[in-house]
Chain A
């Protein structure tokens, strides 16, 4: 019987052959925590009675969720993380470095074939570069920090094939929102997803990361893709310490289901309040005025996301009264965007460019909404209260749709600006 990518990567890390449904203890290649989860990691680690990391080079503390700190409580968490990193002599990405899911692959901490745990649900992002990566809670992460291991139930896999050529003005974000609508918030609970098809291979690696990032929004443990030449080149450019070990599924691998999509006629997609799978075509959305726009996050804060926004915004002004926040996903992306003139475009258009990090996505700072306000965001979650106010409304879309909407003051079809795309 052939094996899926998940079955192979977990087998490689358990030292024995595994199939879906098996439970095994596996060696983990890299793990990390962020400022929303690290306080409990530290507490649990201390309870374990251990005083050192299993491998100093394989753990990072990353401050991104509430960065810079908006209040004394968060400042105390950040200080606790710094003190802990120092005591354990482990790496730390402090305020201003960027979002964990950008930094971990960008700095070569992970490569194809690795097994990775993060104390953050969007750790599934690196599935796009052929890494079995998944989110866990803080205590699970503490166990791995102490031992280098954790237990895994080998997931069943859903095969998703995305055919066709994306039309202009439609992006990888639209693909994953469309899939979320079809499969639902629990369509892949406990399972892995493997993405295939010409529409996936045509995407840049950055655009693929957007799709794997949102695998958890359909309940998936990981959203895996094969390592093609683009991925191998991408990881080689990030200076990973170990050689990539690309893993392909066998031709006779067993899938619980196969879903096929054709995106040739896909329209820009919008997730409406208050659920990620509450998705409609932009043309069906009606007249929705917005108060705020947000470009950034682990979903869509990368250079090509900023580029498409800059193209739409260049020489124009954000609609009067609309607040537009931009958070580059990392310091490097910020610097590249500066060199390319994107940041100047944003500032001239009236955007507020905030520190690299999660920005207002988690609702603790950088643009909390007022009662009744409406935001359109490139993030991955629009739960009620997500951006800090349960009496506000969040729509999710691609960077192009968000930028087009910021110019018109209402949710708009980016294809209206297609001469710029």
Chain B
């Protein structure tokens, strides 16, 4: 399936306050409603440009800061298929897979806003069709793969009556 890249003006160290500001997080509980305000403080027009199936592109340390799960929730509800970044902060990393949002680590220097992308998880590649590039993605750890397969940590836990990673 083909997807399109959505790139933020800010590249590195995008914290979860920027994904969804505290002033909305406390006021709005419906993630669909929250999704309208993603990245408002750093890129006010961004949310309106996102289309279902898009892939969010960022640089280093995406999702640092606050533990708010509203951040990956709002990204999922905004319609993102995945977030691709050079690397992720650890709480956000867990939170995203826990709710079934795919995160991919790869070099994002060669992906521009609007580029057409294809993800091949099993093959370990991200294809940038607009630039004719094949980018290597970092293998997804086994635990994360299991959580994704089961549809998130709640479903994983219910299915197995606990954690089952072997």
Contacts and interface: CB of A to CB of B under 8 A. Distances in A.
Contacts of A388: 22-23
A135 B25 contact: no
A364 B28 CA distance: 12
A74 B27 contact: yes
A139 interface: yes
Interface string A137-159: 11110110011010101000000
Contacts of B165: 23, 151
Contacts of A390: 21, 40-42
Contacts of B89: 186, 189, 219
Contact of B42 (A77, A275, A384): A384
A73 interface: yes
Contacts of A383: 15, 17-18, 65
A25 B163 CA distance: 8
B18 A362 contact: no
Interface in B47-70: 60-61, 64-70
A390 B21 CA distance: 9
A362 B143 contact: no
B128 interface: no
Contacts of B41: 384-385, 390
Given A121-B67, A143-B157, A219-B61, A136 B94 contact: yes
B78 interface: no
B20 to A, nearest CB: 11
Size band of the B side of the interface? 35 or more
Interface in B119-146: 141-143
A36 B26 contact: yes
Select the residue from B87, B89, B154 with max chain A CB neighbours within 10 A.
B154
A35 B22 CA distance: 12
Contacts of B67: 37, 119-121, 135-138
A65 interface: yes
Contacts of A286: none
Contacts of B17: 381, 383-386
B66 to A, nearest CB: 5
B2 interface: no
Given A383-B15, A383-B18, A73 B65 contact: no
A6 to B, nearest CB: 13
B102 to A, nearest CB: 16
A48 B68 contact: no
A23 to B, nearest CB: 6
Interface string A238-251: 00000000000000
Select the residue from B13, B22, B28, B165 with max chain A CB neighbours within 10 A.
B22
Contacts of B42: 384, 390
Interface of A: 23, 25, 35-37, 39-40, 44, 47-49, 65-66, 71, 73-74, 76-77, 119-121, 135-140, 142-143, 146-147, 149, 151, 153, 185-186, 189-190, 216, 219, 221, 275, 362-364, 381, 383-386, 388, 390
Interface of B: 13, 15, 17-18, 21-23, 25-29, 40-42, 60-61, 64-70, 72-73, 87, 89-91, 94-95, 98-99, 141-143, 152-154, 157-158, 162-163, 165
The 6 closest A-B pairs by CB, nearest first: A137-B95, A186-B61, A390-B41, A385-B41, A137-B69, A73-B27
